[in-house]
Structure 1
Amino acid sequence: MDRRAFLAATGAALLARPAVVQARARQWQEVSLAEAGFRPDAGERIDRAFANGELNGLHGLVVLRHGKIALERYFAGADEIWGDSRGVIAFNADELHDLRSVSKSIVGLVYGIALADGLVPKPEAPLLASFPDYPDLAADPERQRLKVAHVLTMTMGLVWDESLPYSDPRNSEIAMEYAPDRYRFVLDRPIARPPGEAWTYSGGATALLGHLIAKGSGKRLGEFAHERLFAPLGIDRFAWTNGLDGREAAASGLRLRPRDLAAIGQLLLDKGSHAGRQIVPAGWLEQCLTAQTQTKDGLGYGYQWYLGRNRAGEPWFGAFGNGGQRLVVTPRQQLVIAITAGNYNKPGGERMSAKLANEFIFGALAQ
C-alpha cells in the first residue's frame, strides 16, 4: 500500500489534486545524436532495451548536450499522483509527472532565491528563532544549537525514519502528515545526535524550508516558485500536490514535464542564469553544489543536492525521487539527463534509472 492509499484507507481525506499553473512556454533547440557527441544508434538501443524489459517502468527521458535536446523518448506505463493511480498513461512531451523527492532539490534552489530577497533566514541563523510559536522547543539548550544550515544539509540530528514502508504509520513522513502541526512535529523529534554530525534523510527538513519560504514571501510555496523560478525559465506548466494540511508537500509533491526538469539541470550548468537573467544567485548555487556532508551511501550532499562521480571519474550533481525520478548533471561534459519513471515504492526501483544513465547515456558518449 502506498502513501496516498494508506491515508485513504485509514480514514483521511485524499490529498488535494494539484492545480496546474501556466506561464509562457520555453522553446528548445534540437541537435542530432552524432552532432551532440553520442553514438548515432543511442536512441535505438534504448527502444530495444525497453521492448526487451531491461528498462521497465521508464516513462520519459530528455538528454541535453550543450543546452540542446540530443535525445528524447516517451513510453506508456502505469502512473500515479502521490499514490493515487492514474492507470496506464501514454506519455508525451506535454504530460506532467510526479518528481517525488526531486522536489527537495528544487526547493533548495527556491530557498536561495528567497534568501537573496531577504525573505528567509541565512544558513547560519538559529533555526527556532523562525518558529516563535514553539517557545518550549526554543528553550531547550540542545535544540538551540540547530541552525538553518542543518536543515539544508539534513544534519539536524533529530530522529527521523523514512525507511519504513508508507503503509506503516511509524514512517516519519506519514506521521508528519497526520500531525496537527507538521512543523512542530518535525522540530519536536527526539534528539539522536548533535546537529551537523551526521546526515539523515528527512522530508521533514524540506517541509521546514518550504514553510520558511512561504512565511517570508507571504505566498504559497508553489506561487513563489512559479514567479521566481519556473516562469523565468519558460516552464509554462507545473503542479504541486498538497498535504493533508492544505499546503504544498514541499518534499515530494512537485510535478513537471521531463523537458522542464531538464531545464532545471541546464540552469545549474549555466550557474543560475537563463536568457541574460540571474534566476538563482551564483553564490547560492555554489553552496548547494558543494559537499557539506556525506550520505550513508558515500555520496556528497550539499544544500538539498547530491554530488558524486561517474564511471569515468567525472563529477556530477543530481536529484533523485521515489519510482526512478532522476536528474543528473555533469558539468565537464555539459550533459543533463532527466528521467521520469513509474517504479514507485518498489525495492530497487531506482536501479532502472541508474542503468539507463550509466549504460545507455554515459555509455553512448562517443566524445
Structure 2
Amino acid sequence: MAAETGLERLAADIRAAKFKDVHSVLVYKSGDLLLEEYFTGSSDHIDFEGGIKRIPGPEVAWNADRLHYVASVTKAVTGILAGIALDELGLSEHTLIKDLLPPDLEPSLLGKARSLTLHDLLTMTAGFRWDEWTSDDLVKLWQSDDFAKTLFSKENMGAGSEWRYNSALPNLVLRILEYRLGKPLQVWADERLFGPLGIHNYRWDKQPTGPPEGGARLHLTPRDMMKIGVTVLDGGMWQGERIIPTEWVTKMTRHQASPEGAGYGYYFWLREVGGVPYISADGDGGQQINIFPNEDMVVVMTQGNYGEWPLYMEQAQAMMRDYILPALHIKKPRQ
C-alpha cells in the first residue's frame, strides 16, 4: 500500500503541473508493472532538415497506443542491434571500420580515421572534430544527402583522443551493418529485435542513403520502450528467448568511456540518482529507459521538453529520487 501511495502521489503531482510537460511514467519491478500513467501534454515535433527546429503542436491525451518520438534513445537501440549483428556475422567490435565499409564509401575515410574501430564509434571516442551543441554540425548532417561522407569530411584527431557526443557515429554503425548483413537493416531488425519483442507499432525514419537513422528519429510506445529495458535488465532475454547475446549486454552496459558527470557504455549512459546506480538510454526532451540492475527495476519516462536541457533531466531525476525510490524503499547502497 505504501508503494502504491507513493507512486500515486507522483501521478497526482504530474497532473497538478508540478512537473512540466510529462507524457508518461511506467515503473516495472521484479516482474510487475507497478505504475503505468499517461498525461495530457504537448505534441510538438522536430523539423530536422529545417534546422532542428521545434514545431509547436496541440495538446493531446497521451496513451498506451500513441507513438512517442524517443530522440537519442534510438542510439541505445542501435547499440543493441550492433551486438546482435556482430554475433550473427562473427565479427568483433574491435574490427577496423575501413575493412567493413561499402566499397564506394571506403576511399572517403582518410588519415587517422582509418585506424578507427567499431568500438570507437560505439563509445563516442572516434576523434572527429564535431560540435553537436554550439555549432551547426548536426544541422548540416541532417541537411546532407550522405551522413557518412559528411562525417568523414571532418578532421580526425585519432581514436580515443577524447569523448565527444556525435550523432553521426550511430548512423555510420547502421550503414556498416546494413552493408555487411546484405539486407535492409529495418527488415533485419524486425526479424531479430522488434518482432521477437512484439514491437509492431513503431516508426523509424531513414537516412538519405537507405538505412534507418541510428541516432534519432525512432518513434515507439512507452510500453515498447519498457520491453527493451526489461530485455536488457534480464541479460538479453525476453520471455525465455535469447534476444541479445549475454556478453554484449555486459559490454554495452559497462563503463567504456568517461564523459563529464557520467559513465558511458555502448550508447548507454551510466548514472546514479540518490546514490543508486542505474543504466540509461535517454533522449532530448526527456525520453528515458532507466534500468536499475540491483533493484530489478526499469523506469520509462516520456516528456515534451525538447531542447530544454537540463530541465528534463532534472525532472526525471526528481521523479525517481523523490517519489519512485522512496515508494519502493530503495536506498543508496552501503559502501
Quick check: TM above 0.5?
yes
The one-letter code of the counterpart of 2:141 is: M
Percent identical residues = 28
Matched, 1:305 2:268: yes
> Secondary structure of the residue that 2:195 maps to in structure 1?
helix
TM superposition shift of 1:162: 1.1
The one-letter code of the counterpart of 2:22 is: L
How far apart, CA to CA, are the structure 2 residues paired with 1:110 and 1:265?
14
Aligned partner of 1:287 among 251, 261, 268: 251
- Asked if 2 retains the 8 angstrom alpha-carbon contact of 1:325 and 1:341, the reply is yes
How many residue pairs get aligned? The number is 321
The one-letter code of the counterpart of 1:356 is: M
- Specify the alignment match of 2:152 in structure 1: 187
> Any residues of structure 2 matched to 1:312-331 within 5 Å, and which?
312=275, 314-331=276-293
Matched, 1:196 2:167: no
- Asked if 2 retains the 8 angstrom alpha-carbon contact of 1:324 and 1:353, the reply is yes
How far apart, CA to CA, are the structure 2 residues paired with 1:239 and 1:178?
20
How far apart, CA to CA, are the structure 2 residues paired with 1:324 and 1:340?
6
Matched, 1:341 2:303: yes
RMSD: 2.0
- Asked if 2 retains the 8 angstrom alpha-carbon contact of 1:82 and 1:98, the reply is no
- Asked if 2 retains the 8 angstrom alpha-carbon contact of 1:107 and 1:210, the reply is yes
How far apart, CA to CA, are the structure 2 residues paired with 1:270 and 1:328?
13
Structure 1 gaps of 5+ residues are 1-33, 165-169
The one-letter code of the counterpart of 2:145 is: P
How far apart, CA to CA, are the structure 1 residues paired with 2:145 and 2:288?
32
- Specify the alignment match of 1:236 in structure 2: 200
Matched, 1:74 2:38: yes
Structure 2 gaps of 5+ residues are 48-54, 331-335
How far apart, CA to CA, are the structure 1 residues paired with 2:198 and 2:210?
27
> Any residues of structure 2 matched to 1:7-26 within 5 Å, and which?
none
> Any residues of structure 2 matched to 1:1-367 within 5 Å, and which?
34=1, 39-83=3-47, 85-118=56-89, 121-131=91-101, 132-138=103-109, 140=111, 142-164=112-134, 170-191=135-156, 193-244=157-208, 247-297=211-261, 299-312=262-275, 314-350=276-312, 351-366=314-329
How far apart, CA to CA, are the structure 1 residues paired with 2:230 and 2:186?
21
TM superposition shift of 1:113: 0.7
How far apart, CA to CA, are the structure 1 residues paired with 2:285 and 2:216?
12
How far apart, CA to CA, are the structure 1 residues paired with 2:144 and 2:4?
53
The one-letter code of the counterpart of 1:309 is: E
- Specify the alignment match of 2:52 in structure 1: none
- Asked if 2 retains the 8 angstrom alpha-carbon contact of 1:67 and 1:266, the reply is no
> Secondary structure of the residue that 1:206 maps to in structure 2?
helix
> Secondary structure of the residue that 1:82 maps to in structure 2?
strand
The one-letter code of the counterpart of 1:172 is: D
Alignment TM-score, normalising by the size of structure 1: 0.82
Aligned CA distance change for structure 1 residues 82 and 247 (closer, same or farther; 3 Å): farther
TM superposition shift of 1:242: 3.1
- Asked if 2 retains the 8 angstrom alpha-carbon contact of 1:77 and 1:88, the reply is yes
How far apart, CA to CA, are the structure 2 residues paired with 1:203 and 1:232?
27
